[in-house]
Structure 1
Amino acid sequence: MPADLLDGAQWRKSSRSGALGNCVEVAPLATGEVAVRNSRFPGGPALVYTRAEMAAFLAGAKDGEFDDVLS
């Protein structure tokens, strides 16, 4: 969905984001879902995930399940 259609979304990025804007932003939505977008293209598309989907992804990231993509 176009991120600009998510009026009122409070976007935030990680404090670990680089100074060059190479980061992802997230915004909790009133529906309980979570929107994700590229910070360099704030009007570009946003992906919207359910809370369960985000919880599963974050748990996997914390457990190191995706570390191999940076190898």
Structure 2
Amino acid sequence: MASVPNGVRASSLDARWITTRRGSAEGDCVEVAPLTDGGIAVRNSRDPDGPALVYTRSEVRAFLAGAKDGEFDHLL
């Protein structure tokens, strides 16, 4: 199966988008969706028709591990 390219219009994906329960009432959320090719798409909830970034499961796993370890805490 062909992989989904980065920058594809998020609303064109046949995907079930998941939003964090920790998002704000103003819609400041990042949404993610599993894709049929095994990838994981990410979009800005305030721009559901905007571009989606697509990552492999391995890339998302590495990012989540870094976030859990506090590697990105300095950004906030």
TM-score range, shorter chain: over 0.9
Aligned position for 2:58: 52
User: Could you list the runs of 4 or more consecutive aligned residues of structure 1 that deviate by over 4 angstroms after TM superposition?
Assistant: none
Does residue 12 of structure 1 match 2:18?
yes
Q: 5+ residue gaps in structure 1?
A: none
Amino acid at match of 2:13: L
RMSD (Å), alpha carbons: 0.6
**CA shift for structure 1 position 4:** 1.9
* Structure 1 residues 10-69: Cα deviation after superposition (integer angstroms, max 9, x where no partner): 001111011110010000011111000000110100000000000000000000000001
**CA shift for structure 1 position 5:** 2.0
Q: TM-score, normalised by structure 1?
A: 0.93
Q: 5+ residue gaps in structure 2?
A: 1-7
Q: TM-score, normalised by structure 2?
A: 0.87
- Between Structure 1 and Structure 2, how many residues are aligned? 69
| Higher-RCO chain (CA-CA 8 Å, sequence separation at least 6) | 2
Aligned position for 2:31: 25
Aligned position for 2:9: 2
Aligned residue for 1:46, secondary structure, equals strand
Identity of aligned residues (%): 65
